Amino acid sequence: MPREILTERNILVTGGAGFLGSRVVAELKSEGCSPDKISVPRSATCDLRVDKNCIEALADIDIVIHLAARVGGIGYNQTHSAELFYDNLTMGTRILHESWRADVKKFVGIGTVCAYPKNTPIPFKEEDLWNGYPEETNAPYGLAKKMLLVQGQAYRQQYGFNAIYLLPVNLYGPGDNFDPDSSHVVPALIKKFYEAKVSNQNEVVVWGTGKATREFLYVDDAAEGIVKATQKYNKADPVNIGSSFEISIRELAELIAKLTKYEGKITFDSSKPDGQPRRKLDTSKAEQEFDFKSTTTFEEGLGRTIDWYGEKISSKS
């Protein structure tokens, strides 16, 4: 299929007001898309678990970028596993099915690195996606999101529906979720170390052993990758979206301590879960297929995120 001319299309971005979605909308506008052609349904008035809402949201839409999701860190995954499974599976199944029924020209499904098996060889290659069960603490979420791939491939096979599936790694950046009950590791640690610095705490406790590794992608880079795939990628196979950078949780905590100028003790609570042992994606397919390669270094992006959080806290005081 030819390159998608986005400026000629009406585009629905589910979750378009969220952390990643707002960046995707901004990236679409930077590519010349008129704001009048970009539709962003809000969860308060458009619950995508309801068929009627999906049908109404898809009126006159040519492209769907499905970013809406219910997400959280390890603790949130443990305490809300049923909701994470049901809500993500239901939203994905309904919006993709109704997109096909509405004759949408392209559906861009956004999966998650949590869909990979627990002990996937490093770096994670797309062909390893089905070689085992996901890490237990996030399996319900990961599997629910993985069904977007199965459904998209099935609809492509039977109906010729152009559905693609992208696998972004853990995202971070200004505007992230810093709620300690549901945040991911980067904002959770930034909040901990920043508050420890301000209140002169002599210790910060970090979940797990510190040995687990993660890969992080700056949110603006992720938005660029998603828009490039929307323009250029039209195949059934899933594609990783990442930075191809790996750091241990211990190293991450030490780096955040340095950037926040926290000089106290860092203690690792090994009674808490580490989650998946290692995460690092093979990102070569994204570069080959739609010329995407992340450009923001981790320390640079982390510094911007810490500065944003500090300004936010200062503006409230």
From 76, 116, 141, 309, active-site residue: 141
Amino acid sitting at position 172: Y
The answer to whether 106 and 62 have CB atoms below 8 angstroms apart is yes
Helix axes 185-198, 298-316, angle to 10 degrees: 50
Distance CA 258, CA 214 (A): 19
Q: Which two tokens stand for residue 233?
A: 């990628």
Helix axes 81-101, 139-159, angle to 10 degrees: 10
Distance in Å from the first CA to the final CA of the chain: 53
Distance CA 198, CA 304 (A): 18
Those residues whose C-beta lies under 8 Å from the C-beta of residue 103, and which sit 6 or more positions away, are none
The answer to whether 2 and 26 have CB atoms below 8 angstroms apart is no
3-state secondary structure of 156: helix
Place of tokens 């627990």: 118
Which is nearest to 191 in space by CA: 276, 264, 253, 268?
253
Q: What angle do CA 205, 313, 177 make, to 5 degrees?
A: 65
| Sign of the alpha-carbon torsion through 141, 169, 196, 178 | negative
CA distances to 161, 190, 308 from 9, rounded to whole Å, are 17, 39, 34
172 is catalytic: no
Burial class (CB in 10 A: 0-12, 13-18, 19+), 119: middle
Catalytic positions are 141
